[in-house]
Structure 1
């Protein structure tokens, strides 16, 4: 649309269903490239992406040409289908329902990207649920404990 100018930076956090540790180091880079392709093919700009065995962070410049929920539905649906087609795991791969999305100003881009790139170090001190609740609290997002990402089962 003519005369539409935006600067929107979003970090999304998605978890593997039941927070199982199914994202393996042997193929996680391929997953990152695949998801980056989805983001780019939808007109957005990937800034940083990284994953732990049970969850993934993606940080991107978002263009308001589609809804965030439609984009995340595409990212999660297409990537889980791809993981299963590639037979990276012995059991079917699924993302847990829902996602977290947090917006940042331009001045925070480097800090957030560095945070995502250093996930392995960060998670030596804090588990995923602690991290996720900290995001929700920091951004003052109201949430119901029963709908938060499920603990390990």
Structure 2
């Protein structure tokens, strides 16, 4: 075999700067296709995108040769920096940007459908659950230790 290969599904979650509720449905409709283009340029596929006014969920499929692989950190950085600049320059000069951090969670092939459904129903989900409670639950479910003092900075 000439190389090593990987097929990775990653559920990426991040909020707007200071969790400000500025990501309107109109902006989400504009930015998700733009994010899909960013992911495509990195040899990936945006499987699903969803969110509410203060955060987004992305299901990204990276199918890459490992020696050319874009790391999850690189992928998140490219998505956030490029989409933030694009939103500010083209659609809303009040746009402050995305939060500094993000959450990234591996998704098995057998769970892709469930995660897609979860991302599609974010508005209904957040009628009952805050972003903070949701994010804590994701961290806990994936056995990621965290300190409340730093998680919302």
TM-score of the superposed pair, with normalisation by structure 2: 0.91
Q: Secondary structure at the match of 1:28?
A: helix
Quick check: 1:96–1:149 contact (8 Å CA) kept in 2? no
Query: Cα deviations across residues 44-86 of structure 1 (Å, max 9, x unaligned)?
Result: 1111001210001000112351111111111111111001101
Q: Secondary structure at the match of 1:108?
A: helix
Equivalent position of 1:17 in the other structure:
17
Q: Which ranges of 4 or more aligned residues in structure 1 deviate by more than 4 Å?
A: none
Alignment of 1:94-109 (within 5 A): 94-109=97-112
Quick check: 2:22–2:95 contact (8 Å CA) kept in 1? no
Give structure 1 stretches of 5+ with no counterpart. none
Q: 2: CA distance between counterparts of 1:104 and 1:2? A: 27
Equivalent position of 2:79 in the other structure:
75
How far does residue 93 in structure 1 lie from its aligned partner after superposition?
2.1
Equivalent position of 2:123 in the other structure:
120
Give structure 2 stretches of 5+ with no counterpart. none
Flag the structure with higher strand content: 2
Q: Secondary structure at the match of 2:25?
A: coil
Of 110-119 and 3-12, more deviation after overlay is shown by 3-12
User: How many pairs align?
Assistant: 149
TM-score of the superposed pair, with normalisation by structure 1: 0.91
Q: 2: CA distance between counterparts of 1:101 and 1:37? A: 19
